Amino acid sequence: MSSSNSQVITCKAVVCWGEGEPLKVEDIEVEPPKSDEVRVKMLYASICHTDLLCSKAFPLPLFPRVLGHEGVGVVESVGEEVKEVKEGDVVIPTYIGECKECENCTSGVSNLCLKYPLIINGLMLDGSSRMSIRGQNLYHLFTCSTWSEYMVINAYYVLKLDPSIANFSHASFLSCGFSTGFGAAWKEFNVENGSSVAVVNGARMQGAAKIIGVDKNKWKKEKGEVFGMTDFINPSESDKSVSELIKEITNGMGVDCSFECTGVATLANEALESTKLGKGKAVIIGASNDGSMPIGVLSLLLGRSLKGSIFGGLKTKSDLPIILDKYKNKEFQLDELLTHEVQMEDINKAIELLKEPDCVKVLIKI
C-alpha cells in the first residue's frame, strides 16, 4: 500500500507554547507519514486530565507541543510498509502498542509493550517530529497529538473501528478515559461477583456487587449510577476520612480493591487504607503533578498492595477490540459521559468547562 499523498499539509492545531500559557489554535505543518506510519485526519477529539497535566510540563517541559491523546479520525495516507490499515479507515489512536512478542507482551501480566512503548519524549518512535510551526519543531503528545486537523502516528498505535458503527464521535473516549477505567476493573483487579470496589474521583466502573464512587462533585453520583455504581460518598459532606467512610458502608471491612484516578498522594493513601486487611489492593490509574508520594507503611505491612497501571492494563491489540465490540453492541452508554461539545477554536473555553460541576467529558469537533 503506498501513500496517496506525500505532501506536507498545513492545517489548524491547538499549540501549547509553555507551562500555564493559554492554548492557541495555529496553522502548523504536518509531514507525510514515514514507511511504518499513517497520517490521520481527525474528526473528533476529547479532553483527558493528562492533557492538562502535560500543558503544565508533566512529566517533562516539552514546548511548543500539540496536545490531545483521545480522538477518532480517518486515515488520510499511509507509509509504504503499512499493512494494518488503509486510506479511508476510521481509527482511534492508542498511546501504547502491542507487539505480542516482547517479554512484557508474552508475560500475561503487563500491557507495557517494550517494542511499542508509552513514549514520553514527545517524539515519534524514530526520535523525530512530524509537526512543525513556522520552521520550529512541535512536540507530539505520547504517540499522538489529536487536537489537530491532521496528525501522524505509527501504524502499530492505531486501531480500526468497525465501519458499521453509526456514530463515531463517542469512540474518542475509548482512546483513554473510558477504557482506562473499564480496563482497570477487568485487567488489574479481576472484578468478580460479590467483590466490592471503590473508585476515588472517577465514577466509571462496572462489574462488582458493590461499587462505591467517591467524589466531591455530587453530580457524579447520577453519572456513576448509569455505569453500575451502587453507593456514593461525597467526602466534603463529612469530617471523616474517605477510608473511614468506605469502611462504614462495608461492615468495617473495607473493599477488595480501590481505584484511584487522580494520582494525588493523600488520596492514594486513602485508597490503600480503604481496602481489606491482609488482601486489599489499591491501583493508581491517574497521574498528578505529585512527583512522589509518601505511603503509610502500616497500611502496606498489613498485607495490602499498591500498584500503578497505564491504560487500565489493557493490551491494545488483544483487549481493546473486545471493548470496541461491546461499544458497537451498545453494552455501555458512552454518550452518557458526554456533557459538552465544542469546536477546536474554543479549546480554552473547553478547559474552563472542565471546572463546571456537571462536566464529565468534553468532545472537541475538529
φ, ψ of residue 349 in degrees (nearest 5): -65, -40
Q: Are 15 and 133 in contact (CB under 8 A)?
A: yes
What x-and-dash track marks residues 250-289 binding Zn ion by CB under 5 A?
----------------------------------------
Query: Of 1, 43, 99, 295, which lies in the binding site for Zn ion, with binding defined by CB under 5 A?
Result: 99
Q: How far is the CB of 271 from Zn ion (least distance, A)?
A: 19
Collapse the DSSP code of 312 into the 3-class scheme (helix H, G, I; strand E, B; otherwise coil) and give the result.
Answer: helix
**CB closer to Zn ion out of 275 and 316:** 316
Give the number of residues in contact with Zn ion, rule: CB under 5 A. Answer: 8
**CB closer to Zn ion out of 3 and 55:** 55
**CB closer to Zn ion out of 52 and 133:** 52
**CB closer to Zn ion out of 100 and 218:** 100
| CA–CA gap between residue 99 and residue 86 (Å, rounded) | 19
**CB closer to Zn ion out of 70 and 89:** 70
- Per DSSP bridges, beta strands 70-78 and 37-46 are antiparallel
Query: Of 54, 67, 113, 366, which lies in the binding site for Zn ion, with binding defined by CB under 5 A?
Result: 113
Query: Of 115, 160, 328, 365, which lies in the binding site for Zn ion, with binding defined by CB under 5 A?
Result: 115
| CA–CA gap between residue 146 and residue 73 (Å, rounded) | 9
**CB closer to Zn ion out of 112 and 245:** 112
| Short-list 9, 350, 314, CA closest to 150 | 9
Query: Of 54, 105, 131, 283, which lies in the binding site for Zn ion, with binding defined by CB under 5 A?
Result: 105
User: CA 105, 106, 111: angle at the middle one, nearest 5?
Assistant: 30
| Interface stretch with Zn ion, choices 10-18, 19-27, 93-101, 125-133 (CB under 5 A) | 93-101
Cell for 97? 502498542
Q: How far is the CB of 49 from Zn ion (least distance, A)?
A: 7
Interface of this chain with Zn ion, residues 37 to 76, rule: CB under 5 A? 48, 50
Residue type, position 142, single letter: F
120 near Zn ion, judged by CB under 5 A: no
What region does 52 belong to: left with phi over 0, alpha with psi -120 to 50, or beta? alpha
Q: How far is the CB of 111 from Zn ion (least distance, A)?
A: 9
Q: How far is the CB of 22 from Zn ion (least distance, A)?
A: 21
| CA–CA gap between residue 357 and residue 20 (Å, rounded) | 22
**CB closer to Zn ion out of 10 and 318:** 318
| CA–CA gap between residue 181 and residue 361 (Å, rounded) | 14
What x-and-dash track marks residues 222-241 binding Zn ion by CB under 5 A?
--------------------
Cell for 236? 466534603
C-alpha distances (whole Å) from 139 to each of 93, 100, 185, 239 are: 17, 28, 32, 44
Query: Of 176, 184, 323, 347, which lies in the binding site for Zn ion, with binding defined by CB under 5 A?
Result: 176
The DSSP call for residue 276 is P
| Interface stretch with Zn ion, choices 78-86, 112-120, 292-300, 339-347 (CB under 5 A) | 112-120
Query: Of 11, 52, 57, 102, which lies in the binding site for Zn ion, with binding defined by CB under 5 A?
Result: 102
Q: How far is the CB of 335 from Zn ion (least distance, A)?
A: 19
* 328 contact partners, CB below 8 Å, separation of at least 6: 162, 164, 165
Stretch (H or E) spanning 321: helix 320-328
| CA–CA gap between residue 165 and residue 154 (Å, rounded) | 24
Question: Please, what is the end-to-end C-alpha distance for the chain in angstroms?
Answer: 27
**CB closer to Zn ion out of 33 and 263:** 263
Q: How far is the CB of 70 from Zn ion (least distance, A)?
A: 6
Give residues in contact with Zn ion (CB under 5 A). 48, 50, 99, 102, 105, 113, 115, 176
